[in-house]
Amino acid sequence: METRSLFLVLGFAALFLFGCISIDYTQKLDRDGNSVMTQTIDMSALLSAGSQYASASDQLSTICVNITKGETDVNCTYSDGVINVTKAVKPGDGQYLFSKASEFPYTVYTLELRKLPEIIKSADLSTNGGSGTQTDSDFKDPSAKLGAATLRTAGASMTYTVEMPGELTSADNGEVVIDPSGKKTARYNVLDLMEDGNYIKVKSKELDMPLLALIGGGVVLLVGGIAVAAVLMKAMKK
């Protein structure tokens, strides 16, 4: 989990004293399980807490240089205490589990996430200083519960939002959120997952159009064949 990256930037002591930091993840998947992941770290409230954080703000202004160095699939922006990092990830990268299955007449997609993905590498932030705390465990690991308690005490918040292909049907251990346009997403409170030892598991479905088209084509051929056979049999009787 890249919560530790946050502490590498400002130091755990500052977070503990002033809190007001939010870390939000979003993951958008396509039909093959390929994802665009975004991690947003909002420290604007902390940086506005006092002049003692001016040097930290100066360091953060160049943080994207470290994050994107040597990376070809990572984009980073920083503005007014908010870091946004976006990365393209595939199922084979080991960040999450993705599957799709045929359940006629639907294709069903399933995502399972057992710990937070590594979007920002801690090593990329090492030059920004600070001390860290290890919270990159599987959600079911006992250390995850300790990490959640630490973050809650510090006043931090963490969310994870998933957008699936097709229509979202379930969000185990989370909630289904519907936006004004009717689009459904799955939303999770990450600290709750860490405390309770639960995984992110999201399912969606859509009509299997290629299969339905194949079946439809087969029906058309069958009906056509029957019609031709009937015509031939009628002609033979004359």
pLDDT digits (tens, 9 = 90+) for 104-117: 889 999 999 999 99
* Residue pLDDT, tens place only, 208-219: 755 445 544 544
Cβ atoms 113, 193 nearer than 8 A: no
Both 34 and 99 in one domain: the answer is yes
How many Cβ atoms from other residues are within 10 Å of residue 94's Cβ? 10
Residue 175, SS3 per DSSP: strand
Domain that holds residue 220: 209-238
In the chain, pLDDT over 70 holds for what percent of residues? Answer: 68
Both 46 and 142 in one domain: the answer is yes
Given a cut of 50, whether residue 194 has pLDDT beyond it is yes
Given a cut of 80, whether residue 167 has pLDDT beyond it is yes
Higher pLDDT, 161 or 137: 161
Both 136 and 226 in one domain: the answer is no
Domain count for the chain, please give it: 2
